[in-house]
Structure 1
Amino acid sequence: MDLDLTLEDTRWGDLSPLAGRAVAAVLDHLGIAADMCEVSLLACDDVRIAELNAAFRGKATPTNVLSWPSAELASASDGGTPVLPEPDFTGEIALGDIAISYDTCAREAEAVGKGMRDHVTHLVVHGMLHLLGYDHVRDADATLMEGLEIEILGKLGLDNPYNEFAGPDGPRDLEQE
């Protein structure tokens, strides 16, 4: 697997082992050959992610994680499984880009009393699933995606993250509105 990690914020430290483990866990769970895949991860701060959020989503606020898939893999049906990515002419699968903000991740982890490493692992898994065509806009899609996150994180020894984000109206959306 080719994980291109760009650290714009030194508070992240050595994010490579954690990110590599999370990316590999998603690919393994979905039966995708990791050695064929390319992913870019930008580890930044709230200022940078707010700029990206404004430019690509029209929301000039920080968020925890953003993703830009290289290909549209989503299922047309609500709750349907996305198509698997195909290698390009070089035999590689360029999955896309993920950006993650230290500031927002740290605030969220502290707010729920969760370790930063566990929360970041969850968000990298979440971003990877977006690159692979999963989403949470429609109800059945959200159920499918959250179920996969719970299974993948469980294999990594982490608890169900949605228990910690639940409120009176149920789990809240990971990407802040």
Structure 2
Amino acid sequence: THDQTEALTMGDRIAVLKDGVLQQVGTPRELYAEPNNVFVAGFIGSPAMNLFGADVTDGGIQFGSAVVPVDREVLAKAGKQVTIGVRPEDVVVSTNAGNGLTVAVDLVEELGADGYLYGHTEVDDKRVDIVGRVDGRVHPNAGETVYITPKPGHVHLFDAESGERLGGAVVD
């Protein structure tokens, strides 16, 4: 047998530009897992990452009626509000009233085993569209209300003004 090593080529990296300005360079996995800013976060992934404003509270970030715990060092870098990002596959959708972001279901796109729930909520008196991955066979229907919470370890935080990432990794 021979030793196989993985060599990176220029095709193994992606450069994301906005208005001719380099935003981030990395592997597709790096850009997906740790986007440098809101632009890259919304650009990489299909459907795009859910991004909306959230208030900083004692010990975390307000996510509807739930609080997402955030390390004090990351919170110290934040203002009174941040932009929170959660990918559609990283939300938990529940039809049981409870903690989380209350979302009105507009449409469910059935794709076989998986589906995508498209809905909306209000954050700071503004409509925010939300997408979540659901079971393609058993899911909520248009007109229903669901409650969405992020999966632990899958929340991205960005500075509300600059759009730059807060902290290195995703928030537990």
TM-score class normalised by the smaller sequence: under 0.3
The alignment's TM-score, normalised by the length of structure 1, stands at: 0.23
Q: Which has the higher strand share?
A: 2
Q: Which has the larger radius of gyration?
A: 2
